Chain A
Amino acid sequence: MQTANINRLTPYVFLAPALAVLVFALLYPIGYMVYASFLDWNPSQRIGEAEFIGLRNYINLLGDESFRESFVVTIKFAALVVFLEMLAGVGLALLLDRSIRGMSVLRTVFILPMMIAPIVVGLMWRYMYHPTVGIFNRTLKSMGFEPIPWLSDGSWAFASVVIADVWQWTPFIFILSLAALQSLPSSAIEAAKIDGATGWQQIWHIKLPLMMPVLIVTLLLRLIDAFKVLEVILVLTNGGPGLSTEILALRISRTASEFRELGQAAAMSNVLLIMLLVLTLIMFFYNKIQETRAARLRAAAEGDV
């Protein structure tokens, strides 16, 4: 009798701590943020003392030049880094897809940039971009070229943060696409070879189409992460010069801590969150569709046999 009771309670006992943490430290804060976005609230007030102003924070965003600017910068940044990283990552995977010695070393070394703190990545690149002692300008100088204002000119600063991100995250796409390539059915590639397909034809007509599902998920994952980037840019440029590298995440943190407008920052957070939610849902349903399609194909193949 008593054991039966214990058994019925066990799952709840096992789940309780996790549920408590998730509710109090995750769900509640997110709900709190949605509520805060309707308030005129500064950090010296308790939330109860803040004035309820309805949608005014959101309406303010529509007319806010610098918010629009950082919205554009964020989209430009995310689109550009993901494009470059996909190009380089998939390209390298196709090129290095063969059993050569040293691949495991390369893969291990390639994870390093992703494991190290983004703050440290920013630090390393800021040093390399240094106007006088940085390795880039030193090399340029020794070859007799003009130094480049890596972080002090708007366009160069944007290029600089893009380069740092490409360095850090191309390996992610390389590793995922290499895994996808190596799990392709060898029969399809063998058949193409027998039919006399050249290397390029194999890549265009067999490998890339077969990798497509994984590539699309990889792209979406990377895109979501690119919208979240903050620390590397914070250390490199802190959004400047001007607003040239001020991505949304940075704008949110600045609105909250420098301008002390918590309600406004919460409204911006919501905009960012909704954008990411859309991307996440696209990815989730894409995955679902792929799974059912794969299951149907498998069933059909078994029917053939």
Chain B
Amino acid sequence: MSARTSSTQNSAFLALMVALVIMSIGPIFLMLTTSLKLNVDIMSDTSGLLFVPTIRNYETALCNLLWYEPAHVDYCDPTFGRALINSLIVAIVSTALTLVIGCMAAYAIVRFRFMGRDTVSITTLIMRMVPPAVLLVPVFGIWTFQYQIDGTLAGIILVYVAMNLPFVIWILQSFIVQVPIQLEEAARMDGAGPFQTFFLVVLPVIKPGLAAASIFTFRIAWNEYLLANSIADRGSRTVPVTIVNSITEYDIDWGVIMATGMLLAVPPIIFTFVASRQIITGMTAGAVKG
């Protein structure tokens, strides 16, 4: 094989990679540029990349959270700003709760040999299978009439904790198995109780597992639409719910809606660039191990 064929081959591969990267980011990039355009520029025939970027759409969406009053906003609609706060609360609280509860359960399963690991994998697998649409009817009925937590953020959080728990327990137990038991025995020798051992010895060791689990949980709680929509009322809507509501309107304000979409996309994008390795591990483990 001559040097020349390998170099043309390499540039062909490079071209393919660049094409794939562009295809992958293209739509996201388009959303970003649209969110920075005025509606005049969006509708005009000529504008592609030639426009003056503006943050007006973001100001319109976030008007009730800003410390100043943007001059171009006549009437400030607080829907999106409120939803953003709701989404943050729901995602953060349900991630924290899922991790704490999931951690403790995973620890009990591994150290006290509860159930089998098979039970946990089957539950995880079956939960992965249940479509949110299937939970729609029971969650509506139970949350409204029996628990009476419809319309509350707590109601939404409860659903997300339940949905994510099996996966979190499953991924964390695979990390806890690797914690040397000697470490815990040493702590117990020094007089630590089971809870101290757990919080001070085990948790710090399984940090990478916690990171992976929290990214997956946060992503679902942050992105989910269907069940949030069935539980939430006007005051407790999350961002995905407001986005769907505004897209069914007759006259879509593309600039503003793309700005809201961009704001919803930012946290997952950050996670992807910070922790792509853990995400890939989580994904491949799910497929290869079942």
Inside 8 A of B84's CB, which chain A residues have their CB?
A: none
Interchain CA distance A46-B146 in the complex, whole Å: 9
A115 touches B269 (CB 8 A): yes
Given A11-B108, A117-B268, A128-B30, CB of A92 within 8 Å of CB of B20: yes
Given A21-B158, A124-B31, A276-B130, CB of A269 within 8 Å of CB of B104: no
Interface range on chain B: under 10, 10 to 19, 20 to 34, or 35 or more? 35 or more
Is B134 part of the binding interface, using a Cβ–Cβ cutoff of 8 Å?
yes
A14 touches B279 (CB 8 A): no
Report B81-129 residues with CB < 8 Å from chain A CB.
Answer: 100-102, 104-105, 107-109, 111-112, 114, 122, 125-129
A269 touches B134 (CB 8 A): yes
Given A10-B194, A224-B129, CB of A47 within 8 Å of CB of B25: no
One digit per residue, 1 when the CB lies within 8 angstroms of any chain B CB and 0 when it does not, for chain A 1-27 equals 000001100111011011101100110
Inside 8 A of A214's CB, which chain B residues have their CB?
A: 287-288
Inside 8 A of A19's CB, which chain B residues have their CB?
A: 105
Interchain CA distance A146-B90 in the complex, whole Å: 46
Inside 8 A of B236's CB, which chain A residues have their CB?
A: none
Inside 8 A of B112's CB, which chain A residues have their CB?
A: 10-11, 14
B272 touches A119 (CB 8 A): no
Is B181 part of the binding interface, using a Cβ–Cβ cutoff of 8 Å?
no
Is B204 part of the binding interface, using a Cβ–Cβ cutoff of 8 Å?
no
Most buried by B among A117, A167, A277: A117
- Among candidates A103, A126, A175, A266, residue contacting B284 with C-beta atoms closer than 8 Å: A175
Interchain CA distance A115-B28 in the complex, whole Å: 12
Is B219 part of the binding interface, using a Cβ–Cβ cutoff of 8 Å?
yes
Given A96-B13, A128-B27, A249-B133, CB of A119 within 8 Å of CB of B240: yes
Closest A residue, CB atoms, query B115: A15
- Among candidates A217, A224, A235, residue contacting B244 with C-beta atoms closer than 8 Å: A235
A102 touches B17 (CB 8 A): yes
Report how many residues on chain A are interfacial, defined by Cβ distance under 8 Å. Answer: 95
Given A21-B158, A96-B17, A217-B290, CB of A253 within 8 Å of CB of B136: yes
Is A133 part of the binding interface, using a Cβ–Cβ cutoff of 8 Å?
yes
Report B209-245 residues with CB < 8 Å from chain A CB.
Answer: 219, 222-223, 225-226, 230, 240, 243-244
Given A6-B193, A110-B24, A119-B223, CB of A283 within 8 Å of CB of B136: no
Is B186 part of the binding interface, using a Cβ–Cβ cutoff of 8 Å?
no
Question: Count the A-B residue pairs with Cβ separation under 8 angstroms: how many?
Answer: 266
Is B175 part of the binding interface, using a Cβ–Cβ cutoff of 8 Å?
no
B176 nearest CB across to chain A (Å): 11
Report B1-37 residues with CB < 8 Å from chain A CB.
Answer: 10, 13-14, 16-17, 20-21, 23-25, 27-28, 30-31, 34
B25 touches A112 (CB 8 A): yes
Is B265 part of the binding interface, using a Cβ–Cβ cutoff of 8 Å?
yes
One digit per residue, 1 when the CB lies within 8 angstroms of any chain A CB and 0 when it does not, for chain B 145-181 equals 1000000000000110111011001000000000000
- Among candidates B133, B161, B280, residue contacting A272 with C-beta atoms closer than 8 Å: B133
Known A-B contacts: A21-B165, A33-B134, A47-B145. Give 11 more (CB < 8 A).
Answer: A7-B194, A15-B104, A25-B162, A96-B17, A124-B28, A167-B23, A175-B283, A256-B136, A269-B134, A283-B290, A284-B122
Ranked nearest first, the 3 interchain pairs of A and B with the lowest CB-CB distance are: A25-B162, A18-B105, A29-B138
Taking Cβ atoms with an 8 Å cutoff, the residues of A that contact B are: 6-7, 10-12, 14-15, 17-19, 21-22, 25-26, 28-30, 32-33, 36, 43, 46-47, 92, 95-96, 98, 100, 102-113, 115-121, 123-128, 133, 135, 138, 167, 171-172, 175-176, 179-180, 214, 217-218, 221, 224, 227-228, 230-231, 234-235, 238, 248-250, 252-253, 256-257, 262, 265-266, 269, 272-273, 276-277, 279-280, 283-284, 287
